[in-house]
């Protein structure tokens, strides 16, 4: 099996440190770190950027994850002025939320919404603002609080992003974060000496593909929602997943551990053991593995119950749901719970049938498009091809963007309809169409031919 799509990543850079299905680590600006554990004597401020890239009540878990992360950082001593939060903010007071004004990240868990800064909400949660925040460029912002990552060469930066993802991109409510653009922004931040070290935790399907061709990576798996309907511990009032498996694993580890004594490597191993449905991976500068989490997340000194030996591989998660299927599960739950013969049940049934029809339409459209472009025999091999490790997922990013971007230039959406979080699983196929040298004109003609006769489902 090829390994191109892990959903949790840790990337760690001394100039840029990150995590995929967990984390990434980037190299250190001063270049003098030899892998020793960072202590509290290490000077520099802590900064954080927290991003929930989705909207809609069925995506409850992403904003719950981000709010929980904020509470960890706040208790750890990071100041609100140094924590920048992106969240659509349509969950806490949503008409479907059974606990108005409250968001929880696990069954019977505490309210994680209270006190969270509303820096970038609604339409201000977009790729342009994210890039401007990371670069510290206030002039490029459109709306929001105006807070940016004003970190310097002695500072430590933590970025955490939770959302839907696919090959070469991450979701946003109204646009996408493309791998090439994100890498460019991180490289620019590095060149400007905008941090001493950076750690990036990423929860998204095929998260590793964001750095394919830049860092060695494994990239082809789905992210999983957890604390979902069907889990015996979930209160019956919830129809949606409360968290994501990788995310709740690292955060629940933080909740019970002394971050002054736990290293990035310690947390990676604990989270890896608990995240059994997909692989947690590390990328970047691995000399940072022995750094203490305290440097990036602070530490809750008031909690005397911390134990440095606690292991969150227990409790186990009784049910994890593929991120691509959480919306379907949400509609199924609404239909099941609605009173027989009620308008609510009719509405829920309509929503479920529309979602099923949409998924069938996307499956048909992509399959047929490949056959129109490459013929029936070759289509599957071309669309599903996985490039050798070390190569970017696509060579022509303009071609890729023109086909999938959330804009009037989106060829697929213009002719075939909304791609959606479910349809994002086909972005590798779209990248391969571009890699095969198909011109815009040919893609337009093939899309028109494919979707003019799409089945009525």
Retrieve residue 183's tokens. Answer: 């890498």
Confidence of residue 409 (pLDDT cuts 50, 70, 90): low
- Is 453 or 241 the better-scoring residue by pLDDT? 241
Q: What is the mean pLDDT of residues 31-46?
A: 53
Indicate the fold that domain 338-452 takes in CATH: Topoisomerase I; Chain A, domain 4 (1.10.132)
Q: Which segments of the chain belong to CATH 1.10.132.130?
A: 338-452
User: Structurally, what CATH architecture does the domain formed by 46-301+314-321 represent?
Assistant: 3-Layer(aba) Sandwich (3.40)
Note the pLDDT tens digit of each residue in 357-399: 999 999 999 999 999 999 999 999 999 998 887 788 889 988 9
- Is 80 or 30 the better-scoring residue by pLDDT? 80
- Please name which of 128, 215, 4, 19 lies closest in space to residue 405, comparing C-alpha atoms: 128
Please say if the pLDDT value at position 121 is more than 80. Answer: yes
Q: What is the pLDDT of residue 99?
A: 97
**Catalytic residue list:** 164, 205
Query: Could you give the 3-state DSSP secondary structure of residue 282?
Result: strand
What is the residue-wise DSSP string for 195-263?
-SEEEEEEESTTGGGGGBTTB---EE---EEES-TT-TTS-TT--S--EEHHHHHHHHHHHHS-TTT-B
Please say if the pLDDT value at position 179 is more than 80. Answer: yes
Q: What is the mean pLDDT of residues 191-209?
A: 84
Three-point CA angle 330, 355, 404, nearest 5°: 110
Please give the C-alpha separations between residue 102 and each of 49, 90, 118, 243, 429, in angstroms, as whole numbers.
22, 12, 15, 14, 40
Backbone angles phi, psi at 230, to 5 degrees: 105, -20
Mean of the per-residue pLDDT values of the chain: 83
Confidence of residue 4 (pLDDT cuts 50, 70, 90): very low
Q: What is the pLDDT of residue 301?
A: 78
Q: What is the pLDDT of residue 167?
A: 82
Q: Which segments of the chain belong to CATH 3.40.50.1460?
A: 46-301+314-321
Note the pLDDT tens digit of each residue in 415-429: 998 888 898 889 899
Distance CA 331, CA 447 (A): 30
Confidence of residue 309 (pLDDT cuts 50, 70, 90): very low
Cis omega (within 30 of 0) for bond into 248: no
Distance CA 269, CA 249 (A): 11
């Amino acid at each position: 099996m090829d390994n191109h799509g892990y959903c949790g990543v840790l990337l760690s850079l001394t100039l840029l440190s990150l995590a995929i299905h967990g984390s990434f680590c980037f190299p250190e600006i001063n270049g003098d770190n030899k892998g020793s554990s960072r202590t509290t004597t290490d000077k520099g401020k802590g900064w954080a950027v927290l991003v929930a890239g989705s909207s809609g009540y069925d995506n409850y878990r992403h904003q719950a994850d981000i709010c929980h992360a904020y509470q960890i950082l706040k208790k750890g001593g990071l100041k609100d002025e140094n924590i920048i939060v992106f969240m659509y903010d349509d969950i806490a007071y949503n008409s479907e939320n059974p606990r108005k004004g409250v968001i929880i990240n696990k069954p019977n868990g505490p309210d994680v919404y209270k006190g969270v800064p509303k820096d970038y909400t609604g339409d201000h949660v977009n790729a342009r603002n994210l890039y401007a925040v990371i670069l510290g460029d206030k002039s490029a912002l459109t709306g929001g609080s105006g807070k940016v990552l004003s970190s310097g060469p002695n500072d430590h930066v933590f970025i955490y992003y939770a959302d839907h993802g696919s090959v070469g991109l991450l979701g946003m409510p109204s646009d996408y974060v493309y791998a090439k653009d994100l890498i460019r922004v991180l490289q620019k931040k590095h060149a400007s000496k905008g941090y001493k070290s950076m750690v990036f935790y990423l929860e998204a399907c095929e998260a590793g593909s964001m750095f394919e061709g830049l860092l060695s990576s494994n990239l082809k798996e789905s992210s999983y929602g957890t604390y979902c309907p069907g889990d015996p511990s979930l209160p019956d009032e919830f129809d949606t997943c409360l968290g994501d498996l990788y995310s709740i694993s690292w955060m629940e580890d933080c909740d019970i551990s002394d971050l002054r004594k736990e290293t990035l490597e310690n947390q990676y191993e604990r989270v890896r053991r608990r995240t059994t449905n997909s692989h947690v991976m590390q990328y970047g500068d691995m000399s940072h593995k022995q750094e203490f989490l305290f440097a990036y997340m602070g530490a809750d000194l008031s909690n005397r119950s911390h134990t440095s030996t606690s292991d969150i591989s227990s409790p186990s998660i009784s049910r994890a749901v593929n991120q691509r299927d959480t919306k379907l599960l949400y509609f199924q739950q609404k239909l099941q719970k609605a009173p027989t013969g009620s308008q609510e049940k009719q509405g829920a049934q309509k929503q479920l049938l529309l979602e099923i029809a949409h998924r069938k339409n996307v499956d048909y459209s992509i399959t047929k498009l490949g056959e129109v472009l490459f013929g029936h025999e070759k289509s599957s091999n071309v669309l599903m091809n996985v490039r050798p490790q070390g190569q970017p997922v696509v060579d022509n990013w303009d071609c890729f963007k023109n086909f999938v971007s959330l804009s009037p230039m989106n060829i697929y959406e213009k002719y075939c309809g909304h791609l959606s979080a479910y349809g994002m699983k086909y972005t590798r196929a779209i990248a391969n169409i571009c890699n095969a040298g198909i011109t815009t004109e040919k893609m337009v003609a093939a899309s028109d031919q494919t979707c003019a006769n799409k089945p009525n489902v």
